[in-house]
Amino acid sequence: MKTEIIDQEKLSKRDMAYEVINLIPDYASINLGIGMPTMVAEHLPKEKHVMIHSENGVLGVEGRPLESKVSATLINAGKETVSIKDGASFFDSAMSFGMIRGGHLDFAILGGMEVDINGSLANWMIPGKKVTGMGGAMDLVNGAKTVVVMMSHYSKHGDSKLVKKCSLPLTGKAVTDYIVSDQGVFKIENDRFKIIKCTRNFYDKERDNELYL
């Protein structure tokens, strides 16, 4: 399959959200991590039928509520107020993670700090500097049928976050399927990042890099 070239300098967060949406089939159940992945909910087209799961205990989240419908007891995992759609359900945390661990959830979309060529993901701590905790991420990456990491391609210092081997503490070992970055869409395949599509700049710069296929 030929690599598709995106005729842009880089993808905006909105473009990235659309690339993630393209990976998700109709009627899939999906979980959106805190931060950039929540943008996926904002950009889902009306005709796309998906059930958004939030691990704090709801299946069937639907974007933001009207002011008049705001409820302090109806939030997503990012602690933001949300609304729900017809067909939604509420449940406790054990059942919520049972859905995940039991293999019933189709997609998990998470943020990342590093992903390596085996699909290992690091996204929950920088030793000595920053600790957020893993929250539900370790369960999600081991349980969801397909794991998509959505993140900027380079760190603030310009280092690639797609690496040969993760240096930060792992969230999961060999768990990632796809990466959607501001440089393109990548699939973990044969211990390499297979480029599904990418920007022209990226293609010219990295096509011969041994990490990419």
Catalytically active residues, by annotation: 55
Q: Which residue number, 134 or 163, has a Cβ lying nearer to other proteins?
A: 134
Q: Which residue number, 59 or 185, has a Cβ lying nearer to other proteins?
A: 59
C-alpha 114/C-alpha 160 separation (Å) is 8
The answer for 107, left when phi > 0, alpha when psi is -120 to 50, beta otherwise, is beta
Min CB(114)–other proteins separation in Å: 13
C-alpha 142/C-alpha 165 separation (Å) is 19
Q: Are 147 and 175 in contact (CB under 8 A)?
A: yes
Q: Which residue number, 1 or 94, has a Cβ lying nearer to other proteins?
A: 94
C-alpha 107/C-alpha 145 separation (Å) is 6
Min CB(80)–other proteins separation in Å: 4
Min CB(101)–other proteins separation in Å: 6
C-alpha 190/C-alpha 64 separation (Å) is 40
Q: Which residues contact 46 (CB under 8 A, 6 or more apart)?
A: none
Bridge partners of 199? 6
Closest among 161, 170, 155 to 193, alpha carbons compared: 161
Whether the CA torsion 160, 162, 168, 171 is positive or negative: it is positive
Residues engaged in binding other proteins (CB under 8 A): 34, 42, 54-58, 63-67, 70-75, 77-82, 90-94, 96-98, 100-101, 120, 128, 131-139, 142-143, 169-174
Q: Which residue number, 48 or 64, has a Cβ lying nearer to other proteins?
A: 64
C-alpha 76/C-alpha 140 separation (Å) is 15
Q: Which residue number, 73 or 190, has a Cβ lying nearer to other proteins?
A: 73
Min CB(191)–other proteins separation in Å: 16
Min CB(45)–other proteins separation in Å: 13
